[in-house]
């Protein structure tokens, strides 16, 4: 089956293509990027599906390095199917699923089982990451060699840090040996309590936490482990990817690490570059996430880091929970926010419309750079011969975010009701249209 994407503005960070042209998809690959006449010369029959991309950007499908699909074991929150459908709606064609499920993904067999099921149940590509330690308990290393053989690509203890530095370094060495990356959740567990009250922190430690009488988490909780992990990466030579970065200190440490030539990359989530503690209007679970929302100084540093490319990737840390777990005060709520269906719109509204990134840089941060980090040479580009993972993104559509329309089981977001600009019209995975925006169907 051939698909002809017509009249779209192609943005390809690999080739630098930044112009209106057509794209012909043949099977799972991009066959031709060019003029209408050039596409017509490539057609051998009339059996072709037409997609109208007029007024839209055609970008490489977004690659989200950080999601929680809760499957197996926590499927009342999300499943491979519902998470994949939410991803497709958000223009995300490949995700990295974190291993903190029940049971934890810590063996070759568990990775293989998720990958097998993902091919049957999810409309998007799912790369299952493996845990660094058995059961994420931080006591003994998991089956790193076996998980590498199963194609997990990276290890992560996401949701916590490996606090035993000697064990962590050993795990990093094995990851390096077997060609895996380390995805780091940087959090000094022993410092997560409020330094004044000793109570477990639920938001950033600042004036706003005092006004709400809530226990706070200081920036140092992230910064200390970020520094440790960077130096361990330097010692071992493994590639370190820093997850959900939230502080100015982390941005500064990234600059230092890159200046020294350490193999390190970093992601920022839309909620961290959009919201600050000033936006926490009440003590409610929708504002509780880990790391927490920080102060404006941190938000500005994260935006500058994304602008410079010091922070290469935009990821969501999509973390769905039930209503019962989130529609409560922060002390009782679970940490987490959903993001797959809002990430592109928030990035375009806040960063592109806000003058922080160009549309091309948006494509780079959300697709090309993540593909490069993972070593996915056939993805992250709208160029001939590449896998046809594509998103047709309409930058002009304005609407309000409505959690009632989410494909994800999770509705936990402070962005419900936000006015945004930019929406996904079509998503293609391996050349197949896996999402069509009904809003455009109704207009037609």
Q: Over the stretch 141-150, which tens digit does the pLDDT of each residue have?
A: 999 999 999 9
pLDDT score, position 237:
99
Residue 290 marked ligand-binding = yes
Q: Which of 205, 141, 134 is nearest to 168 (CA)?
A: 141
Residues 190-242 have pLDDT tens digits of: 999 999 999 999 999 999 999 999 999 999 999 999 999 999 999 999 999 99
pLDDT score, position 444:
53
Buried b (16+ CB within 10 A) or exposed e, 74-86: bbebbbbbbbbbb
Residue 336 marked ligand-binding = yes
The DSSP H or E segment spanning 24 is strand 17-26
Q: Could you tell me if 33 and 385 are in contact, meaning their C-beta atoms sit under 8 angstroms apart?
A: no
SS3 175: helix
Give average pLDDT by consecutive 10-residue segment, the chain, 444 residues. 96 98 98 95 86 99 99 99 99 99 98 99 99 98 99 94 98 99 97 95 98 98 99 99 99 98 99 99 98 99 99 99 99 99 99 99 99 98 99 99 99 99 99 96 64
Q: Using CA atoms, how far apart are residues 243 and 240, in angstroms rounded to an integer?
A: 10
Catalytic residue from among 143, 298, 317, 423: 317
Residue 117 marked ligand-binding = no
Q: Which of 286, 288, 349 is nearest to 314 (CA)?
A: 349
List Cα–Cα distances, 192 to 25, 95, 188, 205, 333, in angstroms.
50, 29, 7, 10, 16
CA 195 to chain CA centroid, Å, is: 31
Q: Sign of dihedral through CA atoms 144, 146, 147, 151? A: positive
Residue 321 marked ligand-binding = yes
Residue 169 marked ligand-binding = no
Active site residue 317: yes
Q: Using CA atoms, how far apart are residues 433 and 248, in angstroms rounded to an integer?
A: 40
pLDDT score, position 26:
96
Q: Which CATH number describes the domain made up of 61-374?
A: 3.20.20.140
0.75 exceeded by pTM: yes
CA 244 to chain CA centroid, Å, is: 9
Q: What is the CA radius of gyration of the chain?
A: 21
Q: Which CATH number describes the domain made up of 2-58+387-406+414-443?
A: 2.30.40.10
pLDDT score, position 44:
75
Q: Using CA atoms, how far apart are residues 224 and 379, in angstroms rounded to an integer?
A: 34
Task: Quote the strand ranges of 298-429, DSSP E.
Answer: 313-314, 390-400, 419-429
pLDDT score, position 442:
66
Residue 158 marked ligand-binding = yes
Residue 404 marked ligand-binding = no
Residue 69 marked ligand-binding = yes
pLDDT score, position 441:
76
Cis peptide bond prior to 153, omega within 30° of 0: no
Q: Give 158's contacts (C-beta < 8 A, 6+ positions apart).
A: 66, 68, 98, 99, 100, 129, 183, 185, 243
In the chain, where does the domain assigned CATH 2.30.40.10 lie? Answer: 2-58+387-406+414-443
Pairing of strands 419-429, 432-436: antiparallel
CA 316 to chain CA centroid, Å, is: 4
In the chain, where does the domain assigned CATH 3.20.20.140 lie? Answer: 61-374
């Amino acid at each position: 089956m051939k698909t002809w994407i017509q009249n779209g503005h192609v943005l390809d960070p690999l080739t630098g293509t930044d112009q209106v042209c057509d794209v012909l998809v043949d099977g799972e690959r991009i066959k031709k990027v060019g003029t209408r006449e050039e596409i017509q010369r490539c057609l051998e029959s009339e059996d072709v599906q037409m997609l109208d991309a007029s007024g839209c950007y055609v970008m490489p499908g977004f690659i989200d390095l950080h999601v929680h699909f809760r499957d197996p074991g926590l499927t009342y929150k999300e499943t491979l199917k519902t998470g994949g459908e939410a991803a497709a709606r958000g223009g995300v064609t490949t995700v990295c699923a974190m291993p903190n499920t029940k049971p934890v993904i810590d063996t070759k067999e568990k990775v293989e089982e998720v990958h097998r099921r993902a091919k049957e149940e999810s409309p998007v590509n799912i790369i299952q990451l493996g845990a660094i330690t058995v059961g994420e308990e931080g006591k003994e290393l998991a089956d790193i060699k076996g998980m590498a053989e199963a194609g997990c690509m990276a290890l992560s203890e996401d949701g916590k840090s490996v606090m035993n530095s000697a064990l962590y370094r050993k795990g990093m060495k094995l990851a390096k040996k077997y060609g895996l990356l380390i995805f780091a959740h940087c959090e000094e567990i022993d410092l997560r309590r409020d330094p004044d009250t000793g109570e477990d922190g639920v938001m950033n430690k600042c004036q706003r936490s005092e006004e709400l009488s809530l226990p706070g988490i200081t920036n140092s909780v992230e910064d200390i482990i970020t520094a440790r992990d960077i130096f361990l990466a330097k010692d071992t030579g493994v590639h370190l990817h820093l997850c959900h970065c939230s502080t100015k200190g982390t941005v500064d440490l990234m600059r230092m690490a890159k200046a020294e030539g350490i193999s390190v990359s970093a992601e920022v989530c839309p909620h961290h570059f959009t919201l600050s503690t000033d936006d926490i209007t009440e003590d409610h679970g929708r504002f509780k996430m880990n790391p927490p929302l920080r102060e404006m100084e941190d938000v500005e540093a994260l935006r500058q880091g994304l602008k410079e490319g010091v922070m290469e990737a935009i990821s969501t840390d999509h973390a769905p929970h039930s209503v019962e777990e989130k529609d409560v005060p922060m002390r009782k709520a679970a940490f987490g926010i959903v993001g797959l269906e809002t990430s592109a719109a928030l990035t375009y509204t806040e960063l592109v419309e806000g003058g922080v990134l160009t549309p091309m840089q948006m494509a780079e941060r959300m697709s090309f750079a993540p593909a490069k980090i993972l070593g996915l040479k056939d993805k992250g580009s709208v160029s001939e011969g590449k896998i046809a993972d594509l998103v047709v993104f309409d930058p002009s559509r304005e609407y309000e975010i409505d959690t009632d329309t989410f494909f994800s089981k999770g509705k936990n977001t402070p962005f419900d009701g936000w006015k945004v600009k930019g929406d996904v019209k079509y998503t293609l995975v391996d050349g197949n249209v896996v999402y069509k925006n009904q809003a455009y169907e109704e207009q037609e």
